Amino acid sequence: MQFRIGKISAKCSSCDSTQFKPDPEDYSGPLARFYCAVCGTAMQYADLIAQIGQQAAPPSKEARVPRRKRAHSKGGTVRR
Ligand SMILES: [Zn+2]
Protein backbone atom coordinates (compact mmCIF):
# COMPACT_ATOMS: atom_id res chain seq x y z
CA MET A 1 0.00 0.00 0.00
CA GLN A 2 1.05 3.58 -0.50
CA PHE A 3 0.61 6.68 1.59
CA ARG A 4 -0.15 9.32 -0.87
CA ILE A 5 -1.70 12.74 -0.76
CA GLY A 6 -2.02 14.38 -4.11
CA LYS A 7 1.22 13.74 -5.96
CA ILE A 8 3.29 13.17 -2.89
CA SER A 9 4.04 9.76 -1.51
CA ALA A 10 5.65 8.98 1.81
CA LYS A 11 8.94 7.19 1.38
CA CYS A 12 10.88 4.70 3.39
CA SER A 13 13.67 6.48 5.21
CA SER A 14 16.14 3.79 4.23
CA CYS A 15 15.45 2.82 0.66
CA ASP A 16 12.97 5.40 -0.71
CA SER A 17 10.38 2.77 -1.46
CA THR A 18 6.82 4.03 -1.41
CA GLN A 19 5.27 0.65 -0.67
CA PHE A 20 4.40 -0.24 2.90
CA LYS A 21 2.81 -3.10 4.73
CA PRO A 22 0.62 -2.64 7.79
CA ASP A 23 1.71 -3.92 11.15
CA PRO A 24 0.49 -7.47 11.61
CA GLU A 25 -0.63 -6.62 15.12
CA ASP A 26 -3.00 -4.16 13.57
CA TYR A 27 -2.63 -1.04 15.59
CA SER A 28 -4.64 1.88 14.44
CA GLY A 29 -4.43 5.61 14.89
CA PRO A 30 -1.37 7.84 14.83
CA LEU A 31 0.81 5.28 16.56
CA ALA A 32 0.13 2.59 14.02
CA ARG A 33 3.27 1.17 12.50
CA PHE A 34 3.91 0.24 8.95
CA TYR A 35 6.79 -1.63 7.44
CA CYS A 36 8.59 -0.90 4.25
CA ALA A 37 7.64 -3.59 1.77
CA VAL A 38 11.19 -3.66 0.41
CA CYS A 39 13.56 -3.45 3.35
CA GLY A 40 11.24 -3.86 6.34
CA THR A 41 12.04 -0.59 8.08
CA ALA A 42 9.30 0.29 10.56
CA MET A 43 7.74 3.71 10.26
CA GLN A 44 4.96 5.28 12.29
CA TYR A 45 1.81 6.38 10.60
CA ALA A 46 2.18 9.85 12.09
CA ASP A 47 5.71 10.11 10.71
CA LEU A 48 4.63 9.09 7.26
CA ILE A 49 1.92 11.71 7.25
CA ALA A 50 4.30 14.33 8.63
CA GLN A 51 6.75 13.49 5.91
CA ILE A 52 4.12 14.09 3.27
CA GLY A 53 3.30 17.39 4.93
CA GLN A 54 6.93 18.45 4.77
CA GLN A 55 7.24 17.56 1.15
CA ALA A 56 4.05 19.41 0.36
CA ALA A 57 5.01 22.57 2.22
CA PRO A 58 6.79 25.29 0.33
CA PRO A 59 10.39 25.33 1.54
CA SER A 60 10.52 28.99 2.41
CA LYS A 61 8.38 29.87 5.39
CA GLU A 62 9.77 29.86 8.90
CA ALA A 63 12.86 28.01 7.88
CA ARG A 64 15.33 30.85 7.86
CA VAL A 65 13.60 33.79 9.38
CA PRO A 66 15.68 35.05 12.27
CA ARG A 67 13.59 35.86 15.29
CA ARG A 68 14.99 39.01 16.75
CA LYS A 69 12.07 41.32 16.95
CA ARG A 70 10.86 40.39 20.36
CA ALA A 71 13.53 42.14 22.39
CA HIS A 72 11.61 45.41 22.35
CA SER A 73 8.19 44.09 23.04
CA LYS A 74 8.19 44.72 26.78
CA GLY A 75 6.70 47.83 28.30
CA GLY A 76 6.82 51.21 26.63
CA THR A 77 10.44 51.62 25.67
CA VAL A 78 10.18 50.72 22.03
CA ARG A 79 12.56 52.78 19.97
CA ARG A 80 13.45 52.78 16.41
ZN1 LIG B 1 12.75 0.51 2.74
Is the residue at 67 inside a domain?
A: no
Q: Distance between CA atoms of 60 and 77, rounded to whole angstroms? A: 32
Distance 77 CA to ligand 1 centre (A): 56
Q: Mapped to the 3 state alphabet, what secondary structure does the chain carry?
A: CCCEECCEECCCCCCCCCCEEECCCCCCCCCCEEEECCCCCEEEHHHHHHHHHHHHCCCCCCCCCCCCCCCCCCCCCCCC
Q: What is the CATH number of the domain that holds 15?
A: 2.20.25
pTM for this model (two decimals): 0.62
Where does the pLDDT of residue 65 fall: very low under 50, low under 70, confident under 90, or very high at 90 and above? low
Averaged pLDDT, 60-67: 64
Asked if pLDDT for residue 12 goes beyond 70, the answer is yes
Count of domains for the chain: 1
Is the residue at 69 inside a domain?
A: no
Asked if pLDDT for residue 23 goes beyond 70, the answer is yes
Distance 44 CA to ligand 1 centre (A): 13
Distance 53 CA to ligand 1 centre (A): 19
Is the residue at 79 inside a domain?
A: no
Is the residue at 71 inside a domain?
A: no
Asked if pLDDT for residue 32 goes beyond 90, the answer is no
Domain extent at residue 52? 4-56
Distance 10 CA to ligand 1 centre (A): 11
Distance 36 CA to ligand 1 centre (A): 5
Is the residue at 40 inside a domain?
A: yes
Q: What is the pLDDT of residue 75?
A: 65
CB 11 within 8 A of CB 4: no
Distance 14 CA to ligand 1 centre (A): 5
Asked if pLDDT for residue 37 goes beyond 90, the answer is yes
